[in-house]
Chain A
Amino acid sequence: MKKVSLSIVAALLAAVMTLSMTVFAAEPAAVKTVQEGSLNIATNAEFPPYEYKEGDGFAGIDIEIAGAIAEQLGLELVVNDVEFGSIIGGVQSGKYDIGIAGMTKTEERLQSVNFSETYATAVQVIIVKEDSEIQSVDDLEGHKIGVQQDTTGDIYCCDDFGDDMVTEYRNGAEAVQALIAGKVDCVVIDNEPAKSYVAAAQGLKILDTEYVTEEYAICIAKENEDLLAAINGVIAQLQESGALQEIVDKYITAEEAE
């Protein structure tokens, strides 16, 4: 009896979900945005392969996901390149509709904005010089760590090893430059950009052990719950159709093959 009722509930749930998805697909531009007819996104385009500058425009996983969301909602995509630390403030104050910048959902950030469902999983890794004495996460203690300011890597490292051991740079590339110059002993940063940096620079490697695992999500102003629901709908749709994986593969697999 119990089993039957459960399966009915499940079936009902599935029906509701499909229904809600069709509603979103059928009614584009039903959500309110900062600028009518366009989806203003805030990002920090120094974080390959999630977002980076390419030619005159922007490219990356997040940019393409945002593009897919805008397309589904019948909006035009407008990319705003801002400091990472200013993204949530800008979304909160209604400057931008969403922030999509390889951003991890944290308790503190949730106090200011809403987060969508997770669209990608990332790990924080440690970049060191090839001849470094740092072999694993356990060796980090007592070493100078370079990070990108305001990222989760920054916050975790400050909490774990103390502010004095952590030097915060404006973007990941600068942190890696500082590592190469010997200003810091290692850089803690997200896995995907780390791969790009290590591929581009000489004499660096990523440690096998991960520092932390975290999930990326899109941030949306607390007031705009319609947009949150719409974006969650689109993410679910993209996940189901495999389009999301295609976008991720396009950037990440291509890079590993190099």
Chain B
Amino acid sequence: MAEWFHSIADAFNRCFIEDNRWKWMLEGLGNTMIITIFALLIGIVLGIIIAAVRSTYDMNGASMKKKGGLSYVLLRIGNFICNLFLTVIRGTPVVVQLMIMYFVILVNVTNGVLVAVIAFGINSGAYVAEIFRSGIMSIDEGQIEAGRSLGFNYIQTMIFIIIPQAVKVVLPTLFNELIVLIKETSVAGYVGVMDLTKAGDKIRGRTFEAFVPLIAVAVVYLIIVIILTRILRIIEKRLRKGERR
């Protein structure tokens, strides 16, 4: 046992201390966080837009069809485009999307982190859109009716009554998406980005130690996710203060 510990300590020394290899881990962790945070921001913006189009179509499409007119045609086209986007993005692996982004679409962008942010942001947007839509659709129709009878128009009703309630409903799922996203960014190494996983791989490639770098990478991801889960619990608790349960 003591010998085992000694060998682990020795491996740890070779993997992180020697040649300052811990700096790679730090740089990798930084890139992982940058990619995740900015991708989620893009995802939320994209998701809200898509969810707004899709849920408006779902809720008002039938009544607008009767009236017809340009707004209905636009909404239908918008809904079709959003649906197509969701099908393509959710129907293909994120690694493939990332490679297409890097080698085909954003050929002139040499910053790999930026490419990863955009690719993961677009990917995340598709999932966030469906999360938001399910949240909006989960709010009772009576809430819209109440808003409209108070004199709010449709958009005002959405902004002041429906969306605040929907956010509360979707927050756990949205956080779940964030957790999934953090782990998904581990494929960023495919386009030469030094993320946390790649940093571990690089150490593995240099030292030929498998155990220590892999476990270290796993532990770092785990710690990030545990911290985020704690934060989520606090937010949920505060949001529930006004509830009678």
Chain A residues near B209: list those with CB within 8 A: 89
Size category of the binding interface on chain B: 20 to 34
Give, as a whole number of angstroms, the nearest-CB distance from A99 to chain B: 10
Interface residues of B in 101-142 (CB under 8 A from A): 102-103, 107-108, 110, 112
- Interface positions of A from 106 to 140, Cβ below 8 Å from B: 108-109, 111-113
A150 touches B112 (CB 8 A): no
Chain A nearest Cβ from B20, distance in angstroms: 10
A85: contacting residue among B108, B112, B190, B205, CB under 8 A: B205
Assuming the contacts A167-B192, A182-B108, A182-B110, asked whether A89 and B103 have C-beta atoms less than 8 A apart, the reply is: no
| Docked pose: A111 CA to B208 CA in angstroms | 9
Interface residues on A, range: 20 to 34
Q: Which residues of A contact B110 (CB under 8 A)?
A: 144, 182-184
- Neighbour of A109 across the interface among B107, B190, B198, B208, CB < 8 A: B208
Least CB separation from A185: chain B residue: B110
Q: Is A88 within 8 A of B208, CB to CB?
A: yes
Whole-angstrom distance between the alpha carbons of A84 and B204 in the complex?
Answer: 11
Give the distance in Å from the alpha carbon of A85 to the alpha carbon of B189 in the complex.
14
Residues in chain A within 8 A of chain B (CB atoms): 84-86, 88-89, 92-93, 108-109, 111-113, 144, 146, 149-150, 154-155, 163, 167-170, 177-178, 181-184
Q: Mark B47-77, 1 if CB is under 8 A from A, else 0.
A: 0000000000000000000000000000000
Q: Which of B196-210 contact A (CB under 8 A)?
A: 198, 201-202, 204-210
Contact A89 B107 (CB under 8 A): no
- Which residues on A sit within 8 Å (CB–CB) of B103? 177-178, 181
How far in angstroms is the closest Cβ of chain B from A86?
A: 8
B131-165 near A? 1/0 per residue, CB < 8 Å: 00000000000000000000000000000000000
CA distance A168 to B107 in the complex (A): 17
Q: Do A89 and B208 form a contact, CB below 8 Å, given A167-B192, A170-B190, A178-B192?
A: yes
Chain B residues within an 8 Å CB radius of A149: 201-202, 205
B221 contacts partner chain A, Cβ-Cβ < 8 Å = no
Contact A108 B207 (CB under 8 A): yes
Known: A89-B209, A108-B207, A182-B110. 12 other contacts (CB 8 A): A85-B205, A86-B204, A92-B208, A112-B208, A146-B192, A150-B201, A150-B206, A155-B206, A167-B192, A170-B190, A181-B103, A184-B110
